[in-house]
Structure 1
Amino acid sequence: MSTPKDNDFAERRSAALLAKQAMLEKFKTKPDENDPAVQAKIAERAARAEAREQRAEQKRIELARKKEEEAARLAAIEAEKAAEELARRAVADERVNRVVADEAERKAARDARYAARKQRKK
């Protein structure tokens, strides 16, 4: 695209210089902290930071709650396993006691037969 003929080099140069100076002024001037736009930006940043902190706190609370639930669930599982083991041991002990009692009864019966046989021989 060609430039119009009425813009000569000096005009283009001065326009570029003015644009450059305007950009420099934009960066040099610091907005006043009492400016409502600046105050709005500061308030918005503070609100975003507060919201971010609240989300992080909620996340920490949720994570702690989940850990507690998991610990409670694991404790319940362990208690259930312990109860099952106790029941299994009780059944095994009952069997052992029954076997011992049966053996004792058989021994007593055998001893009684032996004693009766001895009595008959005398």
Structure 2
Amino acid sequence: MKNIDSFQDRQKNAVAAKARMIAKLAARPGTDDPVVIARAAERRTIDEARTARQTERQNAEAAKEKARQEAVAREAAADEASAKVRRDARYAARKLRAEPSAG
């Protein structure tokens, strides 16, 4: 099939299409439209709630990590104390063994 549209026909079609696009854009509600304002407020509320949840989650994770670190520190202190007790017991046993032979 051969395209029989003339240049003027194509030009008219282009102008009509441009006019339709402009009309479509003009039909959009403006920024001062109550629906747009309500939608923006709803988005802000959702964003604020999301930020609050994220902050809560971060605080909970920080508290959990702090508790874990404290538990590790307590365990290390307990291990150190038990090691000291074992070392003291070995020292006392060595001292008891050394006393009879010295006397």
Report the TM range for the smaller structure's normalisation: 0.7 to 0.9
Q: TM-score, normalised by structure 2?
A: 0.72
CA distance in 2, matches of 1:60, 1:68: 12
The amino acid of 1:84's aligned partner reads S
Q: Which secondary structure does the structure 1 equivalent of 2:30 belong to?
A: coil
Structure 2 residue aligned with 1:83: 81
Query: How many residues are aligned here?
Result: 100
CA distance in 1, matches of 2:74, 2:9: 85
Alignment of 1:1-122 (within 5 A): 17-25=15-23, 26=25, 31-33=30-32, 35-104=33-102, 107=103
Deviations 1:32-78 (A, max 9, x none): 42x22111221122012102211220122022112211211111111
Q: Which secondary structure does the structure 2 equivalent of 1:67 belong to?
A: helix
The amino acid of 1:82's aligned partner reads E
CA distance in 2, matches of 1:92, 1:27: 92
The amino acid of 2:30's aligned partner reads P
CA distance in 2, matches of 1:70, 1:24: 62
Deviation at 1:24, TM superposition (A): 2.3
Structure of larger gyration radius: 1
Identity %: 26
CA distance in 2, matches of 1:32, 1:22: 21
Deviation at 1:80, TM superposition (A): 1.5
Q: Is the 8 A contact 2:30 2:36 kept in 1?
A: yes
Q: Structure 2: which 5+ residue stretches go unaligned?
A: none
Which structure would you say has the larger RCO, counting Cα contacts within 8 Å and 6 or more residues apart?
A: 2
CA distance in 2, matches of 1:85, 1:27: 81
CA distance in 1, matches of 2:51, 2:26: 32
Q: Structure 1: which 5+ residue stretches go unaligned?
A: 1-7, 108-122
